[in-house]
Amino acid sequence: MAERIQKLLADRGIGSRRQVEAWIAAGRVLVGGRVATPGQPVSDEDDIRLDGRRLRLRRRPERGSPGLAYHRPPREQVRGAATGEGRASIERLPVSAGRRWVPVRPLGSGDGGLELFLTDGTLAAALMRHGRELPCAYGVRVQGEVDEAAMARLRQLATSQPPEGGTLDAIEAAGGEGTNRWLQVSCHGLRPRDLRPFFERAGLPVNRILRTRLGPVLMDRGLARGMSRPLTEEELAGLQAAAGTVTGRGVSARRKPGR
């Protein structure tokens, strides 16, 4: 069923209607290879692109959708992120049927990548308490040559002076060009603020960190910056297992022994 382009993209969590209108006015949105026009009727089946990237138009989360994966641009603020209190002040997040979005282990203001939001504050709090046990992954962009000598220094430091706050599991070179190189980091419980001093001790200053995994949730390549998607049932089940909780009637409760 066709809808006006501003309404459809807003309903799918791509951006607010005002943002979509601005993108259309700037010629950044294409439909079937042609520049979109305000109010143009479109459907989920159309080839709609923003800045050349095809949008993955998932169905709008149902009322009370319990969780979202969001690709947060660096420096975008999340009000109440430190305490989990209040509704997350990100305009691009869809309406959650009157309930607030609670961020789970939110990134610092200068970092970007995968953010998780839940409407179940009890589950979010449990995940925060178990943060050191959550597997996570980051793309880390550093300045300098990442050759065998640099990788040897990193491996030596991982043994002698590991980052504080969690467990560093693996570091792999991931390409790059010019003076910048990317590294893929797998860990448990570490945040960007824990990783920066580790790489600087190895003589590799960090200029960007992008979170790509938190617990069972991965940031797929189709999730462009500023876009969100509802968590799958499997991802929600994985988060509940990681928190040691079971969910009933929209509220999480601690799992009792023997159950």
Amino acid occupying residue 140: V
Q: How high is the pLDDT of residue 252?
A: 41
Q: How high is the pLDDT of residue 44?
A: 82
Q: How high is the pLDDT of residue 113?
A: 93
The DSSP code for 27 is: T
Q: What is the CA radius of gyration of the chain?
A: 20
Amino acid occupying residue 153: R
Q: Could you tell me the pLDDT band of residue 13, with boundaries at 50, 70 and 90?
A: low
Instruction: Please give the sequence-ordered ranges of beta strands (E in DSSP) within 38-101, or none if there are none.
Output: 41-42, 48-50, 53-54, 67-72
Q: Which residue has tokens 């178990």?
A: 130
The rounded distance, in Å, linking the Cα atoms of 54 and 134 is: 31
The rounded distance, in Å, linking the Cα atoms of 11 and 6 is: 9
Give the sign of the dihedral formed by CA 14, CA 18, CA 23, CA 25: positive
pTM across the whole model? 0.67
Q: How high is the pLDDT of residue 81?
A: 41
Q: H or E element: which one contains 149?
A: helix 148-160
More confident residue, 191 or 83: 191
Sequential DSSP letters for 196-241: HHHHHHTT--EEEEEEEEETTEE--TT--TT-EEEPPHHHHHHHHH
The alpha carbon of 120 is separated from its chain's Cα centroid by a whole number of angstroms, namely 18
Spatial neighbors of 27 by CB under 8 A, at least 6 apart, are: 35
* Mean pLDDT, the chain, integer: 81
Amino acid occupying residue 81: A
Q: Which domains does the chain have, with CATH numbers?
A: 3-54 (3.10.290.10), 67-131+231-248 (3.30.70), 135-214 (3.30.2350.10)
Query: At 6, is the secondary structure helix, strand, or coil?
Result: helix
Q: How high is the pLDDT of residue 251?
A: 37
The alpha carbon of 131 is separated from its chain's Cα centroid by a whole number of angstroms, namely 16
The rounded distance, in Å, linking the Cα atoms of 172 and 239 is: 26
- With a pLDDT cut of 70, the percent of the chain lying above it is 82
Count the helix, strand and coil residues of the chain and give each as a percent rounded to the nearest 5: 25, 30, 45
Q: What is the pLDDT of residues 201-258, one digit of tens each?
A: 988 999 999 999 999 999 988 888 888 889 999 999 999 999 886 444 343 434 433 4
Q: What is the pLDDT of residues 133-185, one digit of tens each?
A: 899 999 999 988 888 988 999 999 988 888 888 889 999 988 877 788 899 99
More confident residue, 60 or 126: 126
Nearest to 117, CA basis, from 128, 106, 102, 138: 102
